[in-house]
């Protein structure tokens, strides 16, 4: 395949991930974000493996810069260069997970990868909230409470936030939008290449 076609495909995938990241600037429910979808999409379609980690990471960082220093500036003391390290750790782990699960790309694998990414993000981000927050004690019981309060099961009707449910729905939504949009783009530009193979 021509080098120019590969470069064009790389540009399209990177641009879509950046646009997805910038959608975080729009009003949205807690945890209803494109973070996991960005990582899975990059893992599936970047022909160069390092880009699957670098591009979603940078897109997340750029959107965080704007959120932290413009929209949420009143909550910080001074300019913020890097916040929420556990979210960045989660996006790297999700990209690694996606690179394994999405070696072949089909609807079942995309849905499965999205659900798995939700679990990874839930475990990592809530661990970070427990470690660096002040809501739960730094004990095993405190960690389990932190996880439990984010799950809107019927046995937990008092949960204040539906973080995990929002993550699952948001991940399915954004993953579907990214993969579906790229499928439509490929219909117009069949010369686009990608790392994964459909099956």
pLDDT tens digits along 40-84: 999 999 988 899 999 999 999 999 999 889 887 777 788 889 888
Residue 104: strand pairing partners: 197
d(CA 163, CA 24): 16
pLDDT digits (tens, 9 = 90+) for 105-139: 999 999 999 999 999 999 998 899 888 877 888 99
Per the structure, the complete domain to which residue 107 belongs is given by: 3-198
Q: What is the reported pTM?
A: 0.87
Who contacts 27 (Cβ-Cβ below 8 Å, separation ≥6)? none
Given this model, what pLDDT does residue 196 score?
46
For range 148-171, the mean pLDDT = 73
- Given pLDDT bands bounded at 50, 70 and 90, which one contains residue 27? confident
d(CA 105, CA 45): 10
Given this model, what pLDDT does residue 153 score?
62
Asked if residue 35 lies in contact with residue 25, where contact means CB atoms within 8 angstroms, the answer is: no
Given this model, what pLDDT does residue 199 score?
46
The answer to whether residue 157 scores a pLDDT higher than 80 is no
Who contacts 125 (Cβ-Cβ below 8 Å, separation ≥6)? 86, 87, 90
Count of structural domains, the chain: 1
d(CA 191, CA 122): 37
* Mean of pLDDT over the chain: 86
Write down the number of H helices and E strands in the chain.
7, 2
d(CA 128, CA 86): 6
């Amino acid at each position: 395949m021509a080098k120019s076609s590969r470069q064009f495909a790389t540009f399209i995938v990177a641009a879509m991930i950046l646009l997805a990241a910038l959608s975080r600037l729009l009003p949205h429910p807690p945890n209803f974000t494109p973070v996991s979808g960005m990582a899975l999409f990059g893992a599936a379609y970047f022909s160069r493996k390092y880009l699957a980690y670098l591009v979603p990471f940078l897109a997340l960082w750029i959107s965080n810069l704007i959120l932290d220093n413009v929209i949420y500036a009143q909550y910080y003391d001074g300019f913020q260069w890097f916040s929420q390290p556990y979210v960045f750790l989660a996006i790297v782990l999700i990209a690694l997970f996606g690179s394994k699960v999405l070696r072949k790309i089909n609807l079942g694998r995309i849905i499965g990868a999205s659900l798995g990414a939700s679990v990874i993000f839930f475990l990592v981000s809530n661990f970070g909230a427990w470690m660096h927050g002040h809501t739960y004690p730094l004990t095993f019981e405190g960690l389990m409470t932190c996880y439990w309060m984010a799950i809107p099961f019927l046995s937990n009707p008092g949960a204040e936030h539906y973080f995990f449910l929002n993550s699952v729905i948001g991940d399915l939504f954004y993953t579907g939008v990214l993969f579906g949009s790229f499928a439509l783009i490929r219909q117009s530009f069949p010369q686009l290449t990608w790392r994964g193979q459909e099956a």
